[in-house]
Structure 1
Amino acid sequence: MATKSILALAALGAAVTLAGGCGADAGEPEATAHPTPAAASGAGMPAPEVELGTRGTALGTVLTDGAGFTLYRFDEDTPTEIHCTGPCAEIWPPSIGTPHGDGHLPGTLGTMTRPDGAAQATYDGSPLYRFAKDTAPGQTTGDGVKGTWHVVTVDAAHG
């Protein structure tokens, strides 16, 4: 009987940890986690292509993925290290693959290697993520979450 209680407490602790991951506030409904592409791509396999585009929003022109969903950057990432992993990457799925655009994107496209070995798309050196709570193209509900998540804006005058 004690073993069942310990297992139940462990499961509860794991659920609380997952809900409290990067960007989820305790008072917000739990995000619907999209499968993390990093787990599917695996190290050593060719990286898929990530189609990038733009969309006008109330926040300005933002970078989007091929399905029109807004892409975000995380302030805690650095030019050499990705910090959104584990439960964080379930709420903020990384854009896995090599980015390409239609030639009209003014920023620099690239990739960074995630801790699991997968290539994550970058724009102007920032790793790119979606937000699991954005349920339709053009939504920007992740902007400002925890003060560390921001839409990636695209400035046509950028050079």
Structure 2
Amino acid sequence: MADSEAGRILVDQSGRTLYGFTKDKEGADACKADCIAVWPALTSTSEVKAGGGARTSLLHGTERAQGAVQATYGEWPLYYYVGDTAPGDLNGQGLDGEWFVVAADGKLIKKPL
């Protein structure tokens, strides 16, 4: 978790912002091909672990194509945004009215910056 302009948000171990996509339903990813090129999924070949402030009970994984496991938090598969070039960037927040940062409780933070 990290403090940001949007509030306390979910980040990876390097401080890079993680996003949820409102078109994802019940933990299933709706971001395919061209979408993934701009919004890469947070995937791992090993177990994903919650860091300080994140709730272990909300962190899970969902299988994507080719056997990769995408991290999910609450009901949201997690993504990066290619327009975020440094830890703490929030350039994807609110894009297309569908991409939002994730709060500690697993809900999307939909406030504009």
The alignment covers a number of residue pairs equal to 102
The amino acid that maps onto 2:48 is: P
Q: Does 1:143 align with 2:72?
A: no
Greater RCO (Cα-Cα under 8 Å, separation 6 or more): 2
The alpha-carbon distance between structure 1 residues 80 and 67, as it changes in their structure 2 partners (threshold 3 A), is closer
Identical-residue share of aligned pairs (%): 36
Amino acid at match of 1:81: A
Gaps of 5+ in 2: 106-113
Q: Which has the higher helix share?
A: 1
| Aligned amino acid, residue 53 of structure 2 | H
Q: Where in structure 1 are there 5+ consecutive unaligned residues?
A: 1-53
Q: Which amino acid in 1 is paired with 2:15?
A: G
Q: Which runs of 4+ in 1 moved over 4 A?
A: none
**Cα distance in 2 for residues equivalent to 1:80 and 1:143:** 20
What TM-score, normalized to structure 1?
0.60
Larger Rg: 1
SS at match of 2:43: coil
Report the TM-score, using the length of structure 2 for normalisation: 0.82
- Determine the structure 1 residue equivalent to 2:111: none
Name the Cα RMSD after superposition.
1.5
Q: 1:113 to 1:138 in 2, by over 3 A?
A: same
